[in-house]
Amino acid sequence: MLVAEIIHQKITARLSPSRLDVKDESHLHAGHAGAREGGQSHFKISIVSAQFEGLTRVARQRLVNDILREELAGPIHALVMKTQTPQEAEAS
């Protein structure tokens, strides 16, 4: 299974997002430290979830990092994330 699919499945299971975009940006980092042959090491994700209500930006990111703990210890070298509540997504 691709790392992007694992990310999508785990976040969907824990956060029930109304929107989730997972983008593998590994090709942009080819030849850099942490880049693996075959990619699947650098990701950009955007999550809209009501589960983020009342949480600070840092708390939201910690929650996502906890969900993806196993992947962050292994195949994921870099993870950029945007976390929003549904109300924040509507306003942007």
Report pLDDT digits (tens) over 41-65: 889 999 999 999 999 999 999 999 9
Residue 27 near residue 4, CB atoms below 8 Å: no
Q: DSSP 3-state assignment of 50?
A: helix
Residue 74's pLDDT band, with cuts at 50, 70 and 90, is: confident
Domains parsed from the chain with CATH numbers: 3-91 (3.30.300.90)
Q: How far is CA 87 from CA 36, 48, 53, 83, in A?
A: 37, 9, 9, 12
Q: What is the pLDDT of residue 36?
A: 60
